[in-house]
């Protein structure tokens, strides 16, 4: 019948249109499932955090004194340690501040030598030959992070790069070759070739809808083939 022939033609053309993307979906899914997520995130090379007794650091400025002279509405304030010294991490509605808890002096924005020290403390390995530079232009490795950032490129077998915020003095991202493979495959998987984050865009929806029609038409032809075979066996 004509409509059966049309279904087969539609199925064939749909297959030609989405064959490459279907292959990328399957191969990408396998790759992402195969890679160890801890290694992708660089967690396997994160050093154990050092335990610091803040009481041994001596007296610190009372939080009330700090807030009295701050001049901004503080949404969060924490006493912690940074590079072995007591600090206050202060959050406002728009900014973050790193304050020396003993003197009340601002430590941010941190310098390159301090960023290197943060990365060396974070990295479980030899980061003595690392190269430090300030990244102030958008890059796929730093998307979703506020720029500028200090980039510390570690000379290891995975091409590790550690990103440190100049404002908070904290590690905000760890990137390596496994992450780059995962990120590239993820880009192909969701078909977002710009930001690599949006999986609700029209191209993906159209392709996924086309793939669904391909599967439905294939299932219909399979059911029809079984029915035709069943009728043939009964008439025989």
Section 104-121 average pLDDT:
96
Q: Tokens 């915020």, residue?
A: 165
DSSP string, the chain: -HHHHHHHHHHHHHHHHHHHHHHHHHHHHHHHHHS-HHHHTTGGGBPPPPP--GGGG-----HHHHHHTT-S-EEEEEEEEETTEEEEEEEESS-EEEEETTT--B-PSPPHHHHHHHHHHHBSS--TT-EEEEE-S--GGGTTSPSPEEEEE--STT--EEEE-TTT--EEEEE-HHHHHHHHHHHHHHT-SSSS--SSSHHHHHHHHHHHHHHHHHHHHHHHHHHHHHHHHHH-
Strand-by-strand arrangement of the 85-92 sheet: 74-82, 85-92, 96-100
Per-residue pLDDT at 9 exceeds 80: no
77 band by pLDDT with thresholds 50, 70 and 90: very high
State which of 5-9, 44-48, 194-198 shows the largest mean pLDDT. 44-48
pTM of the model: 0.83
214 band by pLDDT with thresholds 50, 70 and 90: confident
42 band by pLDDT with thresholds 50, 70 and 90: very high
Task: State the pLDDT at residue 233.
Answer: 56
Per-residue pLDDT at 88 exceeds 60: yes
Task: State the pLDDT at residue 7.
Answer: 64
Per-residue pLDDT at 232 exceeds 80: no
The per-residue pLDDT for range 172-207, each reduced to its tens digit, is 999 999 999 999 999 999 999 888 888 788 888 888
36 band by pLDDT with thresholds 50, 70 and 90: very high
Dihedral pair phi/psi, residue 99, rounded to 5°? -120, 135
Task: State the pLDDT at residue 173.
Answer: 98
Per-residue pLDDT at 234 exceeds 60: no
**Domain map of the chain by residue range?**
2-37+184-235, 43-175
Task: State the pLDDT at residue 108.
Answer: 96
With contact defined as beta carbons under 8 Å apart, do 141 and 161 qualify?
A: yes
CA dihedral angle for residue 70, residue 72, residue 78, residue 80, rounded to 10 degrees: -50
114 band by pLDDT with thresholds 50, 70 and 90: very high
């Amino acid at each position: 019948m004509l409509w059966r022939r049309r279904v087969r033609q539609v199925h064939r053309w749909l297959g030609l249109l989405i064959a490459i993307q279907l292959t990328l979906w399957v191969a990408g899914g396998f790759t992402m499932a195969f890679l160890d997520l801890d290694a992708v995130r660089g967690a396997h090379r994160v050093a154990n955090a050092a335990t610091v007794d803040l009481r041994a650091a001596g007296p610190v400025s009372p939080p009330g004194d700090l807030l009295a002279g701050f001049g901004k509405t503080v949404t969060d304030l924490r006493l912690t340690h940074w590079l072995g010294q007591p600090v206050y991490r202060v959050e406002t509605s728009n900014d973050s501040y790193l304050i020396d808890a003993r003197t009340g002096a601002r430590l941010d924005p941190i310098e390159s030598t301090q960023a290197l020290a943060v990365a060396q403390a974070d990295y479980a390995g030899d980061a003595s030959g690392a190269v430090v530079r300030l990244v102030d232009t958008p890059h796929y490795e730093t998307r979703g992070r506020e720029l500028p950032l200090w980039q510390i490129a570690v000379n290891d077998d995975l091409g590790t790069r550690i990103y440190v915020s100049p404002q908070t003095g904290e590690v905000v991202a760890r990137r390596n070759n496994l992450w780059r493979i995962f990120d590239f495959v993820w880009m192909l998987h969701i078909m977002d070739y710009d930001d690599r984050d949006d999986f609700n865009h029209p191209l993906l929806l159209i392709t996924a809808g086309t793939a669904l029609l391909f599967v439905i038409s294939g299932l219909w032809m399979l059911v029809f083939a079984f029915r035709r075979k069943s009728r043939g066996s009964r008439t025989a």
